[in-house]
Amino acid sequence: MKNEIDNIYNQAISVIEKITNGEALEALRVEYMGRKQGKLTLLMKNIPDLSIAEKREIGPLINKVKNALTIAFDKKEKTLGQITNSENSFFDITLPGEKFNIGTLHPITQVRLQVEKIFQKMGFEILNPNEIDDDYHVFTSLNLPPQHPARDMWDTFWTENDLIPITHTSSMQNRAMKEKTPPFGVIVPGRCFRHEATDAHHEHTFYQVEGLYIGENINLSHLIGTILTFLQEYFQKELRYKIQPSYFPFVEPGLEFLVSCVMCDGKGEKDKIPCSTCGHSGWLELIPCGLTHPKVIEMAGLDPKKYSGFAWGMGLDRLVMLKYGIEDIRHFHAGDLRFLKQF
Ligand code: FA5
């Protein structure tokens, strides 16, 4: 029996060495070590018939052979696996590469960067607003004391501790005047929040770009010149403009800056179809603005007899919509890649 065990071991080892694929190896494993009919298993079934002395010799020998074969099979299996992997890892440099989807800047971000560049060229500095601010900066410092009825013009969100997700970027006016020495110009691009029933032109979350210039002897011509220069540079078009009275407690006079419609060139219609962008009027109400109210200047610690200024607050989303002919503001935050991939 000892010889038989040696033979089985030697045969198995020599065949394992020659094997070249996993299937043949598995078949061989069953042939020698299979639980029912394996050659080694069958030998083990004879052990109960042996004498005690033989049992002591044969039992450990079979176990030793069994362990040695298990190791040989496992080793061969690993070797075959490595060969297969290296065959699979053949790299064909002629195949087209994997396509990576690289994101792009959101259209609002793209336009914000353009707007910032234009105003920087005109000497304006960029200030970032606090997205959550206090009552003083959002309202009181802008000549809107508590209980002022004009506060109703803003559908404001409040936090539980009486702070405000800013309703407009005018919230930085007081800080800018306190921090800077006139003459200075700043723009404040930022995200605003209002309790709005959303529609094609209104979102609860949108963007504004505030502008503030403070110096001496500032008048409406400075305001008009600045805004017109910006709009012509932004739309790359000669635009006609008109201004009409408006009301904001932090400017006096308060104005609405209108430009000839960029979609229909101020004609009110395009190809004989009424222009829906300007409501057939040929004019776009684009930028609320005005000369800074003396009280606002005074509240920032500056002398309103010496200093004057102008300010505006334009909707950035509106500028993007007009530039690219986007009909509904709600596309911006819908997360629809079909929309976003166009920019
Ligand atoms: C203001 O917020 C003033 N702070 C602007 C201002 C600044 C006036 C400085 C004078 C001097 P108004 O609420 O009109 O004004 O908003 C300004 C612009 O923000 C609007 O013309 C519009 O383009 C945009 N806007 C306002 N509400 C929304 C909204 N819910 N969704 C999208 N855009 C909005």
Three-state DSSP string of the chain: CHHHHHHHHHHHHHHHHHCCCHHHHHHHHHHHHCCCCCHHHHHHHCHHHCCHHHHHHHHHHHHHHHHHHHHHHHHHHHHHHHHHHHHHCCCCCCCCCCCCCCCCCCHHHHHHHHHHHHHHHCCCEECCCCCEECHHHHCHHHCCCCCCHHHHHCCCCCCCCCCEECCCHHHHHHHHHHHCCCCEEEEEEEEEECCCCCECCECCEEEEEEEEEEECCCCHHHHHHHHHHHHHHHHCCCCCEEEEEECCCCEEEEEEEEEECCCCCCCCEECCEECCCCCCCCEEEEEEEEEECHHHHHHCCCCCCCCEEEEEEEEHHHHHHHHHCCCCHHHCCCCCHHHHCCC
Joined tokens for residue 82 = 């490595």
Give the pLDDT confidence score for residue 85 in this predicted structure: 59
Give the pLDDT confidence score for residue 84 in this predicted structure: 61
Whether 203 is in the pocket of ligand 1, judged by its Cβ within 6 Å, is yes
More confidently predicted of 86 and 209: 209
Give the pLDDT confidence score for residue 52 in this predicted structure: 87
CA 336 to centroid of ligand 1, rounded, Å: 26
Looking at the CA of residue 167, tell me the nearest atom of ligand 1: 2
pLDDT classification of 2: cutoffs 50, 70, 90: confident
pLDDT at 50 over 90: no
Q: What mean pLDDT is predicted for residues 111-133?
A: 98
pLDDT classification of 268: cutoffs 50, 70, 90: very high
Most confident of the ranges 26-40, 42-56, 142-156, 243-257: 243-257
User: What does the domain layout of the chain look like in residue ranges?
Assistant: 2-88, 107-340
CA 160 to centroid of ligand 1, rounded, Å: 25
Q: Whose CA is nearest to atom 18 of ligand 1?
A: 315
Residues acting as catalytic residues: 154, 168, 194, 208, 251, 311
Give the pLDDT confidence score for residue 101 in this predicted structure: 83
CA 229 to centroid of ligand 1, rounded, Å: 20
Joined tokens for residue 223 = 């305001």
CA 136 to centroid of ligand 1, rounded, Å: 19
Neighbours of 84 (CB within 10 A): 12
Cα–Cα nearest to 241, from 210, 287, 201, 275:
287
Q: Pairing mode, if any, of strands 251-260 and 283-292? A: antiparallel
Neighbours of 91 (CB within 10 A): 5
- Predicted TM-score of the model (pTM): 0.74
Whether 318 is in the pocket of ligand 1, judged by its Cβ within 6 Å, is yes
Distance CA 183, CA 48 (A): 108
User: Residues 39, 7: contact at Cβ < 8 Å?
Assistant: no
Give the pLDDT confidence score for residue 125 in this predicted structure: 98
Whether 288 is in the pocket of ligand 1, judged by its Cβ within 6 Å, is yes
Whether 191 is in the pocket of ligand 1, judged by its Cβ within 6 Å, is no
Give the pLDDT confidence score for residue 87 in this predicted structure: 56
Q: Whose CA is nearest to atom 29 of ligand 1?
A: 202
Distance CA 110, CA 126 (A): 16
Give the pLDDT confidence score for residue 206 in this predicted structure: 97
Sign of CA pseudo-dihedral 327, 333, 338, 341: positive
Give the pLDDT confidence score for residue 23 in this predicted structure: 87
Q: What mean pLDDT is predicted for residues 307-319?
A: 97
Whether 310 is in the pocket of ligand 1, judged by its Cβ within 6 Å, is no
Q: What mean pLDDT is predicted for residues 299-315?
A: 98
Q: Whose CA is nearest to atom 7 of ligand 1?
A: 313
In this structure, of 48-62, 76-90, 145-159, the range with the lowest mean pLDDT score is 76-90
| Amino acid at position 161, single letter | N
pLDDT at 78 over 70: yes
CA 303 to centroid of ligand 1, rounded, Å: 28
Whether 170 is in the pocket of ligand 1, judged by its Cβ within 6 Å, is yes
Give the pLDDT confidence score for residue 86 in this predicted structure: 59
Give the pLDDT confidence score for residue 203 in this predicted structure: 95
Annotated binding residue at 131?
no
Distance CA 19, CA 3 (A): 25
Q: Whose CA is nearest to atom 2 of ligand 1?
A: 168
CATH pick for 107-340 out of 3.30.56.10, 3.30.930.10, 3.30.470.10, 3.30.420.140: 3.30.930.10
Question: Cis ω on the peptide bond leading into residue 183 (within 30° of 0)?
Answer: yes
